[in-house]
Amino acid sequence: MINPSKQNLIQQITVDCVIFGYENQKLKVLIPKINFKGDFWALPSGFVSQEDDIDAAARKVLQFRTGIEDIYLEQFSVFGKASRNHTAFLDKLLELNEDRLKESENNREEYLWFTKRFIAIGYYALVDIGKVNPQKSAIDQSIEWHDINELPTMILDHQEIVEVALHTLRSHIDEKINAFNLLPETFTMREVQDVYEAVCGRTFVRTNFQKMILELNVLERLEKKYTGAANKAPYLYRFKK
Amino acid sequence: MINPSKQNLIQQITVDCVIFGYENQKLKVLIPKINFKGDFWALPSGFVSQEDDIDAAARKVLQFRTGIEDIYLEQFSVFGKASRNHTAFLDKLLELNEDRLKESENNREEYLWFTKRFIAIGYYALVDIGKVNPQKSAIDQSIEWHDINELPTMILDHQEIVEVALHTLRSHIDEKINAFNLLPETFTMREVQDVYEAVCGRTFVRTNFQKMILELNVLERLEKKYTGAANKAPYLYRFKK
């Protein structure tokens, strides 16, 4: 989290971002590691200033972390348990990093500010990893893509936030696959299936998958991609306007 | 909105509730009218105390307004535009009700508190109107069910909140129809179709509807309902466990 000039922020609210990436038929999540003793991973997160729409606040986090200007994102859920606060995490961090975090009046105020209960508004995006230039914040040691099946242990309920984001992404994948812009203008049925398999974490039987997709009635079939070996040329598709 | 003891509340946050009701093949929304000069309708709403989960805060509003203890509700979206505040509404209310709302230090504080920007966490529920005992708050003149197609003009973005709630309800109706508990233990295909038609605001061709529902694979067909006129007895269904 970026150290805030807190006067102008809405109190006790964060926007927490799950940035999914797709590359080589794999689904991954972009997660920074905090630059303090102890292994602290935390989702990219930001505060909401009085002047920013909540969507704009999330967009700032996503633009900063990915370098992509025009990112498609979705608000998906709010995490607002009364027990949800940073106290346990901050106490552990202070204990392990006593030398760097000397007690001062200023630090005390920061501590009291951060250990209030926070409500997190969850946003997710799905991007082409090849287009992303991952960016550390001032308090990060590193930022890396993690395979969805091998996530590090994150602070607070960030694991749950990723799980809910993934569930939402899966349940809307039919509507979203176009919005997320992961496929070229035209593509083969195999390429669509690859995206689905990465996101859904399972394989599909080719014939069943094709039947399911065509029934959604969102694709338009174009001419065959002639390669010389005509009998193996796959059809090309694009999304209906 | 209930006049708050504001010390213990999370600032600039409300839970706004869209209470859908179903009765006689109609979909309606429960909306209070505020007891001041001028026609002000506003969604049932509440604040979040430091000790309450956001779900619990919404549940309190819904229990108070409906008299139903164990209500099924869903958080569906957050409304967080920077321009979203009560200033225009409160100014109009003060102008029309000068006699009742004399300026005082206390009122001034309330005004400043309420005219800050608010972020609204939207919740919706869908209930059987026959089971609801609608309840006014201290500031309401009345509270009534309004047909979804004949809503009154509401303050702020409450119209939009209803629209987004309705869109969400429609897009998940297949999964939710059981959770909302609008059908008896066993029911006919016609009864299911009635609920769908009320929620979706359109009619379905009987044969197509039946095909669609059976493909969802959530219903279990039971014995026929014998009425004597055997050739007209409809099948009964129930939800699969």
Cross-chain residue pair B80–A48, CB shorter than 8 Å: yes
pLDDT of residue B19: 96
The token pair at A179 is 């919005």
DSSP secondary structure of A68-137: -SS--EEEEEEE--TT-BSHHHHHHHHHHTTTTS---HHHHHHHHHHTSB-EEEEEEEEEEGGG------
Cross-chain residue pair B56–A13, CB shorter than 8 Å: no
pLDDT in tens, A191-222: 999 988 988 888 999 998 888 888 878 889 98
Residues spanned by the domain of A71:
6-173
How high is the ipTM of this complex?
0.87
Query: Is the model's pLDDT at A3 over the cut of 60?
Result: no
Residue A178 located in a structural domain: no
Same domain, A33 and A82: yes
Amino acid at site A196: Y
Residue A1 located in a structural domain: no
For B111-119, what is the mean pLDDT?
Answer: 94
CATH code (residue A137): 3.90.79.10
Same domain, A32 and A90: yes
How close A144 gets to chain B, by Cα (Å)? Answer: 29
How close A225 gets to chain B, by Cα (Å)? Answer: 35
pLDDT of residue A171: 81
Residue B143 located in a structural domain: yes
Q: Among B175, B197, B220, where does a domain finish?
A: B175
How close A142 gets to chain B, by Cα (Å)? Answer: 31
What confidence tier does B80 reach under pLDDT thresholds 50, 70, 90? very high
Count of domains forming chain B? 2
How close B92 gets to chain A, by Cα (Å)? Answer: 24
Same domain, B93 and B145: yes
Same domain, A25 and A56: yes
Same domain, B108 and B218: no
pLDDT of residue B133: 95
Residues in chain A closer than 8 A to B123 (CB atoms): none
The token pair at A184 is 């070229």
Residues in chain B closer than 8 A to A80 (CB atoms): 48, 53-55, 121
What confidence tier does B81 reach under pLDDT thresholds 50, 70, 90? very high
pLDDT in tens, B30-73: 999 999 999 999 999 999 999 999 999 999 999 999 999 888 89
pTM over 0.80: yes
For A151-160, what is the mean pLDDT?
Answer: 96
Cross-chain residue pair B75–A75, CB shorter than 8 Å: no
What confidence tier does A107 reach under pLDDT thresholds 50, 70, 90? confident
Same domain, B53 and B148: yes
pLDDT in tens, B179-204: 777 888 899 999 999 988 988 888 99
Q: Which helix (H) or strand (E) holds B26?
A: strand B26-34
pLDDT of residue B5: 67
Q: Running DSSP on this structure, what letter comes out for residue B154? A: B
Q: Helix count (H) and strand count (E) of chain A?
A: 7, 8
Q: What burial class does residue A212 get, using C-beta atoms within 10 Å of its C-beta: 0-12 exposed, 13-18 middle, 19+ buried?
A: middle
Same domain, A151 and A190: no
Query: Is the model's pLDDT at A136 over the cut of 70?
Result: yes
DSSP secondary structure of B167-191: HHHHHTHHHHHHHTT-S-SSEEHHH
CB-nearest to B81 from A53, A117, A121 is A53
Same domain, B105 and B223: no
For A100-126, what is the mean pLDDT?
Answer: 91
Same domain, B104 and B167: yes
Q: Running DSSP on this structure, what letter comes out for residue A217? A: T
Residue A130 located in a structural domain: yes
Residue A116 located in a structural domain: yes
Residue B97 located in a structural domain: yes
Contact B110, B93 (CB under 8 A): no
**Mutation site, B11, B78, B173, interface A, largest A CB count within 10 A:** B78
pLDDT in tens, A20-48: 999 888 899 999 999 999 999 999 999 99
pLDDT of residue B2: 41
For B167-182, what is the mean pLDDT?
Answer: 79
Query: Is the model's pLDDT at B123 over the cut of 70?
Result: yes
Residue B1 located in a structural domain: no
pLDDT of residue A95: 93
Above pLDDT 90, what percent of chain A?
59
Q: Which residue would you say has higher pLDDT here, A61 or A211?
A: A61
pLDDT in tens, B193-237: 998 898 888 899 999 888 888 887 888 898 776 666 656 778 899
> Could you tell me the CA-to-CA distances from A131 to A173, A181, A184, A240 in Å, in that order?
21, 12, 13, 25
Same domain, A219 and A120: no
Contact A91, A136 (CB under 8 A): no
pLDDT of residue A65: 97
Residue B222 located in a structural domain: yes
Chain centroid offset of residue A4 CA: 22
For B151-158, what is the mean pLDDT?
Answer: 96
Q: Which residue would you say has higher pLDDT here, A151 or A1?
A: A151
For A15-19, what is the mean pLDDT?
Answer: 97
Same domain, A234 and A205: yes
What confidence tier does A89 reach under pLDDT thresholds 50, 70, 90? very high
Which value, to the nearest 10 degrees, does the dihedral of the CA atoms of residues A83, A166, B163, B70 take?
-50
Query: Is the model's pLDDT at B3 over the cut of 60?
Result: no
Q: Among B147, B175, B203, where does a domain finish?
A: B175
Same domain, A78 and A168: yes
CB-nearest to B77 from A50, A75, A81 is A75
For A130-155, what is the mean pLDDT?
Answer: 95
Q: Among A173, A194, A212, where does a domain finish?
A: A173
